[in-house]
Chain A
């Protein structure tokens, strides 16, 4: 792939190139391979296997009250009876919302769950909760589907044979009593105070018992680095809404970790341009492979993961951290550092330098020192006491395995932590487990690590559990269940209580008892506070108090001698993360950022490295690292650092379930316990095999159409436009009289491209809201994915450091909708509020509308994609949205069901729908608030005000389709002093 080829391919406008496959003139897409993964859709049509699941139809009769769940119906009800006593607040057909919280990598995210007659169907962020502020992400959105997953573990197993919880709890207590100091509990990180109290009770009873929290993609390095730099364990919180300059050193802070939703919100607030605030922050990013955050950067540089340390040292030296000398950098990196340093210095106290979980603890310490030198402490970088129990990370796992091998562990309780699957490849967990007298597995799936366990206790999903959580800022929240456990699963709190001998304790009682003791109120006062806490989704006055911190530890330069050869970089997958939710079809099928691949992970290489290795996308290579090897298909990623191979964790499960088994390869086996995130010395051998990869976007050049598709400007050009710039767009007119849209509600949407980082939250939220089916890899390969909203990704610039443009595209609701005039049966029509509505019942399926849609946002049910047989999946669906059958076209309709719900409420109260009362699913989920929806006839509405801005554009404007969805043009804010080419 020579530079000449790239240049030749570009047409006009910026130097866009076509997809890398086109460049290579290769046809690897066509290659058929021996390994084929069954799609969920294909399996769901298999009635025989599905029949084995417990029928759940009766659950639709279940009801939920504020205080909790007083129902547990697990057998099909053959009779339909009305409520004899109407439960409080339940109106059939109207959803209720309950506040709860979800544990994400140890920290709580406050949520509101939507319940239809006792079935949770969707979760949203809790606007009052600091970690979400009402937003969510793809992971949270998809968690509902996991609850209804028919592959979940459905019963207690004693050595693989069905047993009961009563037997199990007695056995647990007995085993604990005999194990004593040999008890080890291995779980995922969890900041639940009640759990911590339960474990303290256990370790008090059995001195020597230990709790190990292990998360394969944890942020331990940040915790260790903060402790090293600040002298004590400290919780570091960044205020991105105060930062004018942000330098991200291999940090995907808008997408990765439990703070991402909040940071994304704060960061985008500084990037958004309004007439009142014509400024935006500047982002510098250095990273080995394009991340969500990195693609938003004004100045991005691709460096090997190991070389990020050198950049950090250079910045530290530049801003005057004592004891650090600047290493020698190449011209490009040093120009980048110089620009960043001058900007940081100019914005001292208003800047943030941040590094990611993938970089060493020493580097985290150094970065804190940089922030200290810039005077950011107490301003953009704030501190609190730790809010979560200390985790031991990978070291803890290693120590545990050593103990097991030494025979010091006689009872090991594994809760969800799937160490057989996700331990680094150089730790032999399997043989260590064999030396443990009793292994008890607890989890919502009987996964890889449950094999050989004496007991498997089926766990409760968070939507079925009583628990509590603390957010990154300390906010405590009760996790209340939305439904009685579908399969009578138990929470870890209950398991720990059983170990302590309290075999009859319920999660509800324990959580309540804990908070009773903490809030130290009683009787009515506590009940009231408890109810308020449940209702609000957080417990008042639990935010951790800000503390001051100062740099006490010595920081040292972190750069190591440049290593030769190939570097391997491990990354959590953008959607599957650590792989624990691999059986979730929504997460498997959501296209990964940049590559738009689904249902697979790959060995990602840069175009230049691919050339050196002589590989093309789809070629299978053998990766060997520290003597361990896997086979992986190659995918070429522009903007990745050369000599770096990026592999994503979370794939290659063997006991995930029907959906997740055998998808991709397991990159954990390559991981070394000293090289958790990257390491040098990777060997790549090309094999003769090729592998079929499914991507939802094959072509990533705009072909010179950027003015119509994705106009970009620098902030300076936008604020001070050059008078003679280009030719004025000529007005487009229609031969037909315009419909009068000046009356009533007129719905419109505005998407801010400066805020969007392509995180996919909207894609999965839309899927959850609108009952969008999962179609499987084969169908995606054929071009039949069903997502109503998609994130288009384009590249421009050179292949080494391209600009990446991401844009959410859903139905534009054109006022001159090309789809409508061609439908022979009037199945897609316009309503008087400007919606291009789709009448599924009327659709015959000529597909003509899709052919005439210039945005290609329509999706067709080529087969019966929706599983109409699995009972649990039926319960998940949103009853307000039609479930589409085969042969029917579908598409985004601005969540018309939500509009109508608001309309009914407004009509009943004889008022207008106020701005903000209709929130589309994508808008609600968006962590960066890029999407704004509302009535464009109301000049005061947020969407109207945004649409009035200069920076608005509509896609494919010359076609005169008059879309109701418009975009804010992408602005960049490059450093004017920076001569390096980055835009």
Chain B
């Protein structure tokens, strides 16, 4: 958005640095905390409109769920043989989106990548909300959701335990662990900033609430030292989870023997796919947010450039997976595997396979160009395409494998119903309501980490404060 004309001060984009020139410790804190501490009655109209829209979608979601619980999952288009449809497609899609946050916070922290600082907070929040959206699907996709607690290993009078060989059971642990650690990591990272807000807020209620959640943070050296240890430990814990969650989700398919599901490459292929669409979602969210809140100085074109490169790399892994599938359908000499590919290429749902190739393989190739990587409208379009493409990937894996499996006599088709769509679109309501609340009441950029970055990147004068800030 090189030449975008703002009503407020004109914006100049920064292409080669993670911070726009002229950022000081003071300006960073003010910029970020002002967004949050803005008086509640003077909330920007844009935010309010967004919140109302998201709230309406949330109502649609709740209505769909209520119908689902009272009438039965027959309101969806699923059948025998396509017994999983939008429910599991959207589950895997949302959980994939929830991958970028932890990757950015944990793995990039361990690799000491400075560029993560401006975006990690929002990405982590996005992760948590996406995992929440995802986690609901396995709970509601069951025929008798009121019995979902049977998934949990608890000592019951029946003496029954879950069946631990089932990948769905592994999901229970994978998702709950991932959600717990992600929330914890996110909250620990928030503590110093909540303390800043506590100190800067003028409202008594805000002071009390921020005070409560900042856990008595005073910025003492001991606090910083403990913070450093804790965040390092949590990063260490999260790192394997980033890889394990989607690996385990992929087991839902690869452990089954269905052609199109029974594929050994699924774990890495799913993780790469998750990173791919997770970053795409971060970009989709960041582009409007930085513009609305004028954060061009903190989230620069360099950030987008780096994220695009990550997308490109993970996209190439995913593309490799697509070619791999075609190869082993031939190499396996199995007529069932072979037919699967024929059906993807030419069957009744071939359009969705080619849509997947278009959105996930062809369109993202524009990211090879640095110029296009730093062109925000193009980047926004590409990221949206990747999100759509990754949705199609799950559709192709689930629907196209199920609708024509071993016995042609049971082949059938799958058509999503109104409730399939309303449950999907409605889940965006949940996501955006949570996300809008987050950007309104919690600093969406880690203040202390950006300050640390400012401190490290600006030429130092004599007043050298004590080192040992977090991050870096």
Interface check A794, CB cutoff 8 A: yes
CB distance from B35 to the nearest CB of A (A): 43
For the complex, is B136 an interface residue (Cβ under 8 Å from A)?
A: no
* Residue A949 lies at the interface, judged by CB distance under 8 Å to chain B: no
Contact A784–B74 (Cβ < 8 Å): yes
CB–CB B167/A822 < 8 A: yes
Of A29, A824, A861, the contact of B168 (CB 8 Å cutoff):
A824
Interface flags for B149-166 (1: CB within 8 Å of A; 0: not) read 011000000001111011
Taking a contact as CB atoms under 8 Å apart, the answer to whether A703 and B408 are in contact is: yes
Residues in A whose Cβ lies below 8 Å from that of B408:
18, 699-703, 705, 709, 794
Determine if B402 and A851 form an interchain contact, defined as CB atoms under 8 angstroms apart.
yes
Determine how close the nearest CB of chain A comes to the CB of B253; give it in whole angstroms: 9
User: In the complex, what residue of chain B is closest to A701 when comparing beta carbons?
Assistant: B408
In the assembled complex, B291 has its CB within 8 A of some CB on chain A: no
- Cα-based distance from A846 to B91 in the complex (angstroms): 13
- Contact between chains at A887 and B142 (CB < 8 Å): yes
Which of the 9-residue segments A177-185, A436-444, A852-860 touches chain B?
Answer: A852-860
Query: In the assembly, what is the distance between CA of A167 and CA of B252, in Å?
Result: 70
Q: Which A residues lie within 8 Å of B255 (CB)?
A: 821-822
Name the CB-closest residue of B to A703: B408
Residues in B neighbouring A847, C-beta threshold 8 A: 78, 83-84, 141, 143
Question: Does any Cβ of A come within 8 Å of B124's Cβ?
Answer: no
Q: Is the CB of A697 closer than 8 A to any CB of chain B?
A: yes
Interface centre among B72, B167, B339 (most CB of A within 10 A): B72
Beta-carbon contact of B160 and A818 below 8 Å: no
- In the complex the two chains form, what is the Cα distance from A851 to B72 in whole Å? 19
Residue A888 at the chain B interface, CB threshold 8 Å: yes
Cα of A707 to Cα of B421 in the assembled complex, Å:
41
A843 within 8 A of B: yes
Q: A821-B166, A824-B168, A887-B143 are in contact. Are A854 and B74 (CB under 8 A)?
A: no
Interface size class of B (residues with CB under 8 A): 35 or more
For residues 44 through 75 of chain B, which have their beta carbon under 8 Å from a beta carbon of chain A?
71-74
Cβ–Cβ contact A793 & B409, under 8 A: yes
CB distance from B237 to the nearest CB of A (A): 25
Q: Evaluate contact between A826 and B258: CB separation under 8 angstroms.
A: no
A855 and B256 in contact, given A698-B411, A783-B81 (Cβ under 8 angstroms): no
Are A825's CB and B162's CB within 8 A? yes
Interface residue? B209 (CB, 8 A)? no
Q: Do B79 and A844 touch across chains, with their CB atoms under 8 A apart?
A: no
The residue from A11, A702, A848, A862 contacting B78, defined by CB atoms under 8 A apart: A862
Q: A699-B408, A794-B409, A860-B143 are in contact. Are A886 and B72 (CB under 8 A)?
A: yes
A704 / chain B contacts, CB cutoff of 8 Å: 335
**Is A860 in contact with B148, judged by CB distance below 8 angstroms?**
no
Residues on the A chain within 8 Å of B407, using CB: 709, 792, 809, 854-856, 955-956
- Are A843 and B144 in contact (CB-based, < 8 A)? yes
Specify which chain B residues have a CB less than 8 angstroms from the CB of A889 in the assembled complex: 143
A29, A793, A824 pick with most chain B CB within 10 angstroms = A824
A12 touches B335 (CB 8 A): yes
CB distance from B135 to the nearest CB of A (A): 15
CA A859 to CA B74, docked complex, whole Å: 13
**B137 CB, nearest partner CB in chain A, Å:** 11
Given A782-B79, A854-B405, A823-B163 contact (CB < 8 Å)? yes
Interface flag for B406 (CB, 8 Å) = yes
| Interface hits, A687-738 → B, CB 8 Å | 697-705, 708-709
Question: Is the CB–CB distance between B163 and A824 below 8 Å?
Answer: yes
Q: Say how far B300's CB is from chain A's closest CB, in angstroms.
A: 46
Q: Does A741 contact B (CB under 8 A)?
A: no
Q: Name B383-417 residues within 8 Å CB distance of A.
A: 402, 404-413, 415
Q: Does B169 contact A (CB under 8 A)?
A: yes
Chain B residues near A956 (CB-CB < 8 A) = 406-407
Chain B CB within 10 A, most for which of A818, A848, A850, A885: A848
Question: Are A845's CB and B144's CB within 8 A?
Answer: yes
Q: Of B80, B406, B415, which contacts A860 at CB under 8 A?
A: B80
Report which of B84, B167, B409 forms a contact with A697, defined as CB distance below 8 A: B409
**CA A790 to CA B412, docked complex, whole Å:** 15
Contact A698 B73, CB 8 Å, known A822-B166, A959-B257: no
B144, A887: Cβ atoms closer than 8 Å: yes
Residue of B81, B84, B143 most packed against chain A (CB within 10 A): B143
Query: Given that A698-B411, A851-B258 are contacting pairs, would A859 and B166 also be in contact in the complex, using a CB cutoff of 8 Å?
Result: no
Residue of B145, B168, B411 contacting most chain A CB atoms (<10 Å): B411
A864, CB-defined interface residue at 8 Å:
yes
- Quote the shortest CB–CB distance from A259 to chain B (angstroms): 31
B77: CB under 8 A from chain A? yes
A residues in contact with B71, CB < 8 Å: 863
Of the candidates A783, A826, A864, the one whose C-beta lies within 8 Å of that of B412 is A783
Residues of chain B lying within 8 A (CB to CB) of residue A860: 80, 83, 143
Cβ of A842 within 8 Å of any chain B Cβ, yes or no, is yes
When distances are taken between beta carbons in the complex, the residues of chain A under 8 Å from B453 are none
Q: How far is the CB of A281 from chain B (nearest CB, A)?
A: 28
Any A CB within 8 A of the CB of B172: yes
Please give the distance in Å from B6's CB to the nearest CB on chain A.
50
Tell whether, in the assembled complex, residue B72 and residue A864 are in contact, meaning their CB atoms are under 8 Å apart: yes
Tell whether, in the assembled complex, residue B144 and residue A888 are in contact, meaning their CB atoms are under 8 Å apart: yes
Q: Are B406 and A844 in contact (CB-based, < 8 A)?
A: no
Q: How far is the CB of B451 from chain A (nearest CB, A)?
A: 47
Whole-angstrom CA separation of A848 from B167 in the bound complex: 10
Contact flag A851-B169 (CB < 8 Å), given A705-B408, A824-B162, A825-B162: no
Q: Kindly list chain A residues whose C-beta atoms are within 8 Å of the C-beta of B151.
A: 824-825, 844
Question: B77 is contacted by which of A782, A794, A856 (Cβ under 8 Å)?
Answer: A782
Q: Bound state CA distance, A889 and B83, in angstroms?
A: 11
When C-beta atoms are compared, the residue in chain A nearest to B411 turns out to be A699
- B423 nearest CB across to chain A (Å): 15
Interface centre among B78, B172, B408 (most CB of A within 10 A): B408
Partner of A859 from the list B80, B172, B257, B406 (CB cut-off 8 Å) is: B80
A-B contact pairs, 19 of them (CB 8 A): A29-B413, A703-B408, A705-B408, A783-B413, A784-B79, A809-B409, A822-B256, A824-B151, A825-B160, A826-B162, A844-B148, A846-B142, A848-B168, A851-B402, A854-B406, A856-B81, A886-B144, A889-B143, A956-B407
7 nearest A-B pairs in the assembled complex, by CB-CB distance:
A845-B143, A887-B143, A862-B74, A783-B79, A847-B83, A856-B410, A792-B409
A contact set with B: CB distance below 8 Å: 11-12, 18, 29-30, 697-705, 708-709, 779, 782-784, 790, 792-794, 809, 818, 821-826, 842-848, 850-852, 854-856, 858-864, 885-889, 955-956, 958-959
